Amino acid sequence: MIDTELFKYRLAVAGLTITDIASLLGISKQAVYKKVSGQTDWSTPEMYAVSDAMKLTPEESKAIFYANKCDKKSQ
């Protein structure tokens, strides 16, 4: 599951929209919404492409796409 709020924040900071991400990945906006809400998983290539488009640092990317896994390790 991703950190939805952080994803949306970094998306806005990057000046991108869900439509931009859908175009980048070659999928529908609905498919992106499902990924953002955690209904479907992100593939590794999708995570890399989105991270690059949003100009995320490796730490930011990890915080967004591996939010629950990071939380569990720190407990």
Q: How far apart are CA 55 and CA 48, in angstroms?
A: 10
Check whether 67 has a pLDDT greater than 90. no
pLDDT of residue 39: 94
Give tens-digit pLDDT for 33-63: 999 999 999 999 999 999 999 999 999 999 9
List, for residues 3-35, the tens digit of each pLDDT value. Answer: 999 999 999 999 999 999 999 999 999 999 999
